[in-house]
């Protein structure tokens, strides 16, 4: 596969707002803000609630990537968060009777309709054996658990599946990206655990393997304050993380933390942009697009 050609197609089709264009949104009122996004062709071209528009923007990117790339492992890595949300939501519905929140179809890599039919209604028509074995394993490992524990088990299973798929032939930029992505997820877990006063055993048991930052280093900082953790993280992330963690009472605290982590990930892997004979440039583009979405969401929620 000519990845240089693929990247050229992506760059030609997908537009990312410049920082100047994003800054221009700051001064707009809420309604004008949404109109400006429609003008920039965000979403699928219909008047939608803001959150749905942002999901549609993710969906547009995924659909285009799927039209030019066929590597299943690449999509497992890039869409692990959406795979996690989809599967954990279905399993909570299956085990706990929680209503499945189907905000938008197609953001996971699974045959979503068939999975829903099986997990919610017990209908396995059209489901292949591999998918059925996969789902049955998830059902077995998440039975008798509460909602949070189901979510935690699912992300660990998905992470382990990806790590075990890596071998010497795996694109080195895909592996590097994933290690840093897991580092960001573990840092988010640390901050969430501290913010909501979760115990240390919960934090340790839910750290994901394969991180670019050794797990024991995060464990060593669990008993410190968020400000002290900010001092440590400023060596790995953007220095601005210190300021964010000093404002843990902020209404948008976790959202601000997520923005810092996304910003850091994009900057750490900035050199990927020039790797157009590997997955490097494609991953870089996806990260930039997602950072754009996170920036826009941050601006919007400051207005409501």
Query: Block means of pLDDT (10 residues each) for the chain, length 304 residues?
Result: 74 79 89 89 81 91 90 96 96 94 88 95 94 97 96 97 95 95 97 96 97 96 96 90 92 89 86 79 89 90 78
Residue 14 lies in a domain: no
Are the beta carbons of 286 and 280 closer than 8 angstroms?
Answer: no
Residue 185 lies in a domain: no
Q: Which domain holds residue 94?
A: 79-145
Which pLDDT score, from 0 to 100, does residue 200 have?
A: 97
Residue 23 lies in a domain: no
Which pLDDT score, from 0 to 100, does residue 186 have?
A: 97
Which pLDDT score, from 0 to 100, does residue 1 have?
A: 61
Residue 248 lies in a domain: no
Residue 121 lies in a domain: yes
Residue 85 lies in a domain: yes
- pTM as predicted: 0.92
Which pLDDT score, from 0 to 100, does residue 219 have?
A: 98
Please give the tally of structural domains in the chain.
Answer: 1
Which pLDDT score, from 0 to 100, does residue 268 have?
A: 82
Residue 99 lies in a domain: yes
Residue 141 lies in a domain: yes
């Amino acid at each position: 596969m000519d990845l240089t050609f693929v990247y050229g197609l992506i760059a030609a089709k997908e537009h990312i707002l410049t920082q100047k264009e994003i800054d221009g949104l700051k001064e707009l009122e809420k309604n004008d803000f949404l109109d400006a996004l429609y003008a920039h062709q965000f979403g699928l071209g219909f008047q939608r609630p803001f959150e749905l528009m942002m999901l549609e923007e993710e969906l547009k990117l995924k659909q285009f990537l799927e039209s030019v790339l066929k590597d299943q492992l690449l999509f497992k890595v890039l869409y692990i968060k959406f795979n996690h949300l989809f599967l954990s939501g279905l399993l909570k519905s299956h085990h706990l009777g929680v209503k499945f929140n189907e905000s938008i179809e197609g953001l996971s890599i699974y045959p979503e309709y068939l999975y829903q039919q099986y997990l919610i209604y017990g209908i396995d028509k059209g489901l292949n054996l591999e998918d059925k074995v996969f789902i049955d394993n998830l059902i077995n490992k998440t039975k008798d658990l509460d909602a949070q524990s189901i979510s935690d088990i699912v992300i660990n299973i998905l992470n382990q599946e990806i790590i075990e798929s890596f071998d010497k032939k795996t694109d080195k930029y895909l592996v590097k990206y994933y290690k840093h992505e897991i580092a960001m997820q573990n840092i988010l877990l640390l901050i969430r655990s501290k913010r909501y006063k979760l115990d240390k055993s919960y934090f340790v048991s839910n750290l994901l393997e394969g991180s670019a930052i050794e797990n024991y280093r995060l464990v060593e900082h669990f008993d410190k304050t968020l400000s002290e953790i900010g001092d440590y993280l400023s060596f790995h992330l953007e220095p601005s993380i210190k300021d964010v963690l000093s404002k843990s009472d902020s209404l948008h605290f976790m959202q601000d933390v997520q923005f810092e982590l996304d910003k850091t990930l994009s900057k750490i892997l900035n050199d990927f942009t020039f790797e157009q004979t590997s997955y490097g440039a494609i991953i870089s583009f996806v990260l930039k697009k997602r950072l754009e979405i996170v920036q826009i969401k941050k601006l919007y929620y400051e207005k409501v």
